Amino acid sequence: MRKRWVFLAPLAIAGGLVLLAVGGLVVRELWNWLLPALFGWPRVSFWQALGLLALCRILFGGLGRHGGNGRSHWRRRMAERWEKMTPEERERFRQGMRERCGGGPIGGGAQSA
């Protein structure tokens, strides 16, 4: 088991560095291809592209892994709450959601006046 980790750890680090380098190159090439022509912005170097990649990760991707896209946690919590509800509470919840989300009456079609 330990021999496998000794082999996999450097391989994982090297793979991460390759992905980082490829990401920086892709950001640099896309930036230098699009933004100077469209908006007249300056071209960026590889290191500036890595900085942009890191900034976007911080601003839009978060830091660290969250075990999914966030919806799985919300769904799991909602399922747990739903299981604990009585049938009357479930019906009240459904009715409240219909009122808030603009759902019309169930089973009733369009009524003419």
HEC assignment per residue over the chain: CHHHHHHHHHHHHHHHHHHHHHHHHHHHHHHHHHHHHHHCCCCCCHHHHHHHHHHHHHHHHCCCCCCCCCHHHHHHHHHHHHHHCCHHHHHHHHHHHHHHHCCCCCCCCCCCC
The reported pTM is 0.52
Q: Number of structural domains, the chain?
A: 2
Looking at the structure, do residues 49 and 77 belong to the same domain, yes or no?
A: no
Print the domain residue range for 85.
71-101
Looking at the structure, do residues 13 and 51 belong to the same domain, yes or no?
A: yes
Looking at the structure, do residues 30 and 55 belong to the same domain, yes or no?
A: yes
| pLDDT tens figures, 44-69 | 999 999 999 999 988 887 656 555 55
Report the amino acid identity of residue 86. T
Predicted confidence at residue 44, as pLDDT, reads 95
Looking at the structure, do residues 35 and 9 belong to the same domain, yes or no?
A: yes
Series of mean pLDDT values for 10-residue runs along the chain (113 residues) = 77 92 94 94 95 90 60 84 92 89 61 47
Domain assignment of residue 106, yes or no: no
Predicted confidence at residue 58, as pLDDT, reads 86
Looking at the structure, do residues 41 and 84 belong to the same domain, yes or no?
A: no
